[in-house]
């Protein structure tokens, strides 16, 4: 259940970040960290982790077929659906892999072999290999 509390923290931090960004002040304090001198930096990486993430990463690994993992994964999907504001018709996917795997899934989902869709794949450097 530790992983689910991390998801709750993520949702809470996202909501707080959205509130702060909508206020229009670049120097608003991050009230979720408890530190009044810390500003919220909302750029892509490197990122700061909540201490609960480090605690969860220090736990023993659980098998992907363990009943506890299956239950937690199902709840994580439900909570992810909340993050993306989806209803019951939305089927979220949590992928274990790099960003390239996500792009591969998107392209595969958009191209339909029955329609003889074609795609142009460009090599844009190290991360596109």
Helix and strand numbers, DSSP H then E, in the chain: 4, 0
- For the segment 107-117, the average pLDDT, to the nearest whole number, is 79
Q: What is the pTM (predicted TM-score) of this model?
A: 0.43
pLDDT digits (tens, 9 = 90+) for 72-82: 888 988 888 88
Beta-ladder partners of 124: none
Lowest average pLDDT, out of 44-48, 78-82, 84-88, goes to: 44-48
Residue 129 to residues 72, 95, 104, 120, Cα–Cα distance (Å)? 33, 19, 12, 14
């Amino acid at each position: 259940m530790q992983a689910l509390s991390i998801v709750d923290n993520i949702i809470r931090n996202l909501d707080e970040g959205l509130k702060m960004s909508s206020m229009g002040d670049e120097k608003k304090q991050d009230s979720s960290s408890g530190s009044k001198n810390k500003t919220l930096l909302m750029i892509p990486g490197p990122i700061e982790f909540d201490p609960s993430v480090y605690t969860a990463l220090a736990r023993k690994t659980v098998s992907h077929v363990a009943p506890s993992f299956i239950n937690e994964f199902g709840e994580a999907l439900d909570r992810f659906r909340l993050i993306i504001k989806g209803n019951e018709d939305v089927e979220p996917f949590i992928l274990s892999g790099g960003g390239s795997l996500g792009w591969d899934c998107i392209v595969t989902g958009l191209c339909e072999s029955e329609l003889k869709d074609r795609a142009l794949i460009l090599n844009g450097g190290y991360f596109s290999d």
